[in-house]
Amino acid sequence: MTISMYQASVPLLRTLLGGLSGVLDKGAAFCAAKQVDPSVLINDRLAPDMFPLSRQVQIAADMAKGGVARLAGVEVPSWEDSETTFDELKARLAKTLAFIDGFTPAQIDGSEEREIVLTLRSGEMRFTGQRYLIGFVIPNVAFHCATAYNILRHNGVDVGKRDFLGAF
């Protein structure tokens, strides 16, 4: 049985971002229950040279929207990175989910050989659509979702593997 590019992208990204949204809910509830200033968790990082929770969420959202847009051959929308609360981070994820849900299988299927070119600080990266999805987008979204989860878990938020996986 063959899996399509749409099936390999949108449902998986939806699961990862949905799980992340649920983890953020638990972070907000933890702050309320323990009387912790939410900015403490939102600005926390696992190591001094890593991004804080807020940036992890922003990057996960950006990777998902960029990945789907590039596979569909449409321009990637640019969103300001100004979220400073759990509600704002959840809104960013909701906006991302609405964006990727707006694509149909017909827009993404057949993108396996589409040339994807990214311009990064380190230089240009070239991919086929399939390699971009499997070797770049999915691992990056999973990494940033897991790092956000780990920041909250490290701070005592009661989250587990099932929370990370979300509904599937």
The string of pLDDT tens digits covering residues 120-164 is 899 999 999 999 999 999 999 999 999 999 999 999 999 999 988
The whole-angstrom separation of Cα 52 and Cα 150 is 11
Q: Are 128 and 113 in contact (CB under 8 A)?
A: yes
Specify burial of residue 129 (Cβ count, 10 A radius: 0-12, 13-18, 19+).
buried
Mean pLDDT of all residues in 61-78: 97
Phi, psi for residue 158 in degrees, rounded to 5 = -80, 85
Give helix then strand counts, H and E, for the chain. 8, 2
pLDDT band at 99 (very low <50, low <70, confident <90, very high): very high
Q: What is the DSSP letter of 77?
A: P
Mean pLDDT of all residues in 24-49: 98
- Count of alpha carbons within 13 Å of 99, Cβ hemisphere only? 25
The top-level CATH class assigned to 5-163 is mainly alpha
Q: What is the DSSP letter of 112?
A: T
Structural domain boundaries in the chain:
5-163
pLDDT digits (tens, 9 = 90+) for 16-32: 999 999 999 999 999 99
pTM tops 0.75, yes or no: yes
